[in-house]
Amino acid sequence: VVVGPHLRQGRSGQWGQSGVVAADAEQRLAVGGQHDGVRAVFAAALFSATPSQAQPTARFGVWDNSTNPNNVMTYEPFEKGGSKLTVSNPSKPGDEWSYVTFFDGQFRPVAGQPGSETAVEVIDDKSIRILNKRDGVVYQVVINTLSEDNNTINNEYIRMDKDGKITGVTHVTYNRRKK
């Protein structure tokens, strides 16, 4: 069920759903074998975001994709209260992209991906919502959830067409690299 297919920017400059409702995404997640907790996080993430200053620092470090050794995320501090995410491929040094955020929902350019921008908002003390835009169109929402022990990140990638209709949902787990 799609109530209204578009993401919209509010007066504050933050982005939110104008109705790509969790029912369709929930159904797709259920078909993919995901559990109720993922659906609950996804539904909550679509509709709410609240500021939290303590949360971003828990992500600082290097994170390895559990199924693809050529996909590594590195979170590091950026200026006051911000974070920089770099995604790299160890088998291709220099083949990376990155963005910075202050977790304020504002779109900022993605280095290494011409025409791309990313906006990040805090959902709660463990989850963030990441909106990816290419050539002015939001094509993906990522719900990034940190485990209770802060050593695992679960990402739900929700892909959308140009009208905001959900076209696919995938899941990736990242494990904190041990020092």
Q: pLDDT digit string (tens) for 46-69?
A: 444 444 444 668 999 999 999 999
What per-residue confidence (pLDDT) applies to 55?
60
Instruction: Identify the sign of the CA torsion 109, 112, 118, 121.
Output: negative
**Residue 28 confidence (pLDDT) above 50:** no
Q: Mean pLDDT across the stretch 16-27?
A: 38
C-alpha torsion 164→24→105→90, nearest 10: -90
What per-residue confidence (pLDDT) applies to 146?
97
Q: Which of 16, 36, 15, 41 is nearest to 127 (CA)?
A: 41
Helix axes 36-47, 22-31, angle to 10 degrees: 160
Instruction: Identify the sign of the CA torsion 55, 99, 116, 158.
Output: negative
Q: pLDDT digit string (tens) for 117-158?
A: 999 999 999 999 999 999 999 999 999 999 999 999 999 999
Return the beta strands (E) in the chain as ranges.
7-9, 15-17, 61-65, 72-78, 82-88, 96-101, 108-109, 116-122, 127-134, 137-146, 152-160, 166-176
Mean pLDDT of the chain: 79
For strands 166-176 and 61-65, give the pairing: antiparallel
Distance, CA of 13 to CA of 8 (rounded, Å): 9
